[in-house]
Structure 1
Amino acid sequence: MKTVHKHPLQKIMESRIAIIDGAMGTTIRTYGMTESDIRGERFKDSTKDLKNNGDLFSLTQPAMICDIHRRFLEAGADIIETNTFGATSITQSEFFVDDPREHGGRKDPAFYQKIIEDRFLDDLAWEINEQSARQCREWADRVGSATGVQRFVAGAIGPMTVSLSNSPDAEDAGFRVVTFDQVKTAYAQQVRALIAGGVDLLLVETIFDSLNAKAALVAIREVFDEDGHAANGRDLPVMISAAVGRGGETLISAQTTEAFWNAVQHVKPLSVGLNCSLGPDLMYPFLEELSEKADVAISCYPNAGLPNPLSETGFDLGPKDMARYLGEFARGGLINIAGGCCGNTPEHIAAIARALEGQPPRQLSRNEVAA
């Protein structure tokens, strides 16, 4: 009879609600970084603005990024995410390659093939992913050793700045700026670099476009198959999290919550959930539906309400508000992993962790995930 091994995080989720960290971008803004700070000496001659390229801070301001990881861990996070939300060659090209549309051209598969083959972008994406994973690994292990509570590093894999589901050309519904294979290739390189940096998990998150997510999941499977098993003779666990609109559909591909789960359940993820896009009050019914349908752990890390430029964090809800809402999710028996997305600082995560302490997790199915 085959022995089934549970991942250590799954064991935690059977006894309590695990905590995932908050928003890297929101927290970076509290440090008052400038354009010159993100450029450093290395990128001082870049011709495009880089300040919104938060992933680049892992290379130019590693002390700040490590401090943010430390603060989230000390706030109670069991899982911290790598600073790699946009760390693919395709997304990085937005900051380093001239937009052909500014010169009468267009972005199309031929343009993105050059991006995929660009050595500078390829090397840059690898370095961001590997270094960010190493930074997370160092601090997860430090805090884990100091507290006696194991901490986990999730390799953050974002949705990209291109869509496989929609055409940007109103007169050509079949046109796509990029191909499935190009997106898959960029994701595969990101996955390999995250693994090289020492992540425990792979997190395909903030899914607006289900077909983009499918490319990421296919890339992960192919990397596992081609490179051998990634950890302790077994594949790394995969976490999946979608962003939904007010109707409960993924924002670009418009799949309902149930349809989205049906599309990804074959991956046998460690968890599936919702993040970003909506505040916790608006997310509740869709999380409830997902919790009823899915037979794996459920994660939830919503935005801190709706955007508000007059707020200190740029979002309406403070730590006490988020703690109250996530506490309601826990009392409803909906969640195994909880945290915050945009607008959530370490103070928000600390409040959420305190509110969920002692709250029972959603009951897991008998399915077990190999570590």
Structure 2
Amino acid sequence: MKRSLEERLKEGTVIAGEGYLFELERRGYLQAGSFVPEIALDNPQALKQAYRDYMNAGSDVVLAFTYNAHREKMRIIGKEELLEPLNRSAIRLAKEVAKEHPKEEALVAGNISNTNIFDPEDSESRARVRNIFAEMVKWCKEEEVDFVNGETFYYHEEALIAFEEIRKQNLPAVITLGLMGENILRDGYTVDESCKLLSEKGALVVGMNCFRGPDTMQPYLAEIRKNVDGYVAGLPIPYRTTEENPTFFNLPDGGCGCNLPTETTFPTALDPLYHNRYELAAWAKEANDIGINYLGLCCGASPAMLRAVAEAVGVETINSKYSPDMEKHFLFGQDKTLKEHNLNYRLKA
């Protein structure tokens, strides 16, 4: 039998591949803006390939792509009747791919996320959010996922509601928070306070994901690690966020000479602002060294980036055989059979 998430965490670091939202938009199968994963019904084979690519790049988890596949988002795009079929399809496709792992069947995680309707001053919004999570987690349970990932919450109370609905179905919970530019959750909790409370209530893993790159997430991960006894997750975006612009929502690109269709580079003009894979690998090693147990990347990440993260903490992935090796390159290689006139030209090329 495959090991559970908790068993794997006890034995070492777990790698979790996320970032399907931006990756599938880049591949042409998802609309930026609405960001609803209709691909689970419209192009199931394309979704399976994305799952496969991240698993082969080192992910121990095939995360069912149901981010934004909740009742409120489906209402906005006028397709509520597709809500349950979409959720079940995304999970079933994930289970098919998880079985392909050649060493040990990958874990399958259900996924719930920020609803964008939570309002701490509105009791009706609390009830709507709870109902949204309850039905999605119920489908996760019926489809027999290994755990549920609740992510990108910028209110502590919404994260707590998500955890409570996961616990009602007796499923392990990974709960991660998205920290906006105010550097505090919108209902006044610091991320380490929120994570400590969620961990004490029984969440298996707590931490942060999305919004922030490694440079502006790492200090908060360090505080979480100091204050939480259990397992801690870190899944930043792969963009060069700064103290002045700590999230990717308002990252400027001073080198862009064109008129963007949006006020900011987010979400479709972030390309020049990527960290390279070596910077992401350096972050992963630093995070792992301080005890971040559940590591990955979020929106914007490619499989090659995730592979670099996995390899940085000692994981040999299925596709590590394709990791860079410049030995045979005609300009930069060291192979003795390469042409000397090319090697001498490399500094001028």
TM-score normalised by the chain length of structure 1: 0.72
1:324 aligns with 2:282: yes
Q: Which residue, 96, 105, 109 being the options, matches 1:154?
A: 109
Corresponding residue of 2:137: 191
Structure 2 equivalent of residue 228 of structure 1:
none
Question: Number of aligned pairs?
Answer: 291
State the Cα distance separating 1:315 from its structure 2 match. Answer: 4.4
Structure 2 residue 68 is matched with structure 1 residue 86: yes
Q: Which residues of 2 match residues 115-264 of structure 1 at below 5 A?
A: 121=80, 123-143=81-101, 147-165=102-120, 174=121, 176=122, 178-222=124-168, 224=169, 235-245=170-180, 248-250=183-185, 252-264=186-198
1:61 maps to: 43
Instruction: Provide structure 1 residue ranges, at least 5 long, that are not aligned to the other structure.
Output: 1-5, 36-49, 97-119, 166-173, 225-234, 360-371
- 1:343 maps to which of 300, 308, 311: 300
Q: CA deviation at 1:9?
A: 2.2
- The aligned amino acid for 1:79 is V
List 4+ stretches of structure 1 deviating above 6 A: none
1:362 corresponds to: none
Deviations 1:252-284 (A, max 9, x none): 223102321243234311111111111111111
SS across alignment from 1:20: strand
Secondary structure (helix, strand or coil) at the match of 2:100 reads: helix
CA distance in 1, matches of 2:226, 2:192: 9
- In the alignment, the residues of structure 2 paired with residue 193 and residue 34 of structure 1 have an alpha-carbon distance, to the nearest angstrom, of 23
Q: 1:13 aligns with which of 9, 12, 31?
A: 9
For residue 81 of structure 1, report the CA deviation from its aligned partner: 1.2
Distance 1:34 1:20 in 2: 21
Shift of 1:358: 6.2
Indicate yes or no: 2:212 matched with 1:278.
Answer: yes
Judging changes above 3 Å, is the alpha-carbon distance between structure 1 residues 358 and 75 closer, same or farther for their aligned structure 2 residues?
closer
* Alpha carbons of structure 1 residues 34 and 244: separation in structure 2 relative to 1, 3 Å: closer
Identity %: 21
Query: Given that residues 15 and 295 in structure 2 are in contact (C-alpha distance below 8 angstroms), is that contact kept between their aligned partners in structure 1?
Result: yes
Change (3 A) 1:267 1:91: farther
Cα distance in 1, alignment partners of residues 210 and 25 from structure 2: 18
**1:218-238 deviation digits (Å, cap 9, x = unpaired):** 32334x2xxxxxxxxxx2211
Query: Which protein shows a greater Rg?
Result: 2
1:142 partner SS: coil
Contact 2:192 2:227 in 1 (8 A): yes
2:18 is the alignment partner of 1:28: no
Cα offset, 1:312, TM superposition:
7.0
Question: Do the aligned partners of 1:319 and 1:347 also contact (CA within 8 Å) in 2?
Answer: yes
Cα distance in 2 for partners of 1:194, 1:53 equals: 21
CA distance 1:24–1:358, change in 2 (3 Å): closer
Q: Shift of residue 51 of structure 1?
A: 7.0
TM-superposed CA distance for 1:347, in Å, is: 1.1
What SS is found at the alignment partner of 2:136?
helix
Q: Is the 8 A contact 1:16 1:358 kept in 2?
A: no
Distance 2:117 2:73 in 1: 8
| Residue identity in the other structure for 2:82 | L
Kindly state the Cα deviation for residue 198 of structure 1 after the two structures are TM-superposed. Answer: 2.8
What is the CA distance between 1:346 and its match in structure 2?
A: 0.8
CA distance in structure 2 between the partners assigned to 1:34 and 1:201 by the alignment: 26
Which string of whole-angstrom CA distances, capped at 9 and with x for unpartnered residues, describes residues 292-339 of structure 1? 1111111111011234648674742122221111111122x2211110
Residues 156-207 of structure 1: CA distance to partner in whole angstroms, max 9, x if unpaired?
A: 1111121222xxxxxxxx5x39431221111111111122223111111111
Pairwise CA RMSD: 2.5
- Segments of structure 2 that go 5 or more residues without pairing to the other structure are 242-247, 254-264, 317-349
Worse-superposed segment, 123-132 or 133-142: 123-132
User: Structure 2: which amino acid aligns with 1:295?
Assistant: D
Does the C-alpha gap of structure 1 residues 214 and 314 become closer, same or farther in structure 2, counting only changes over 3 Å?
A: farther
Aligned to 2:333: none
Q: Distance in 2 between matches of 1:204 and 1:74?
A: 23
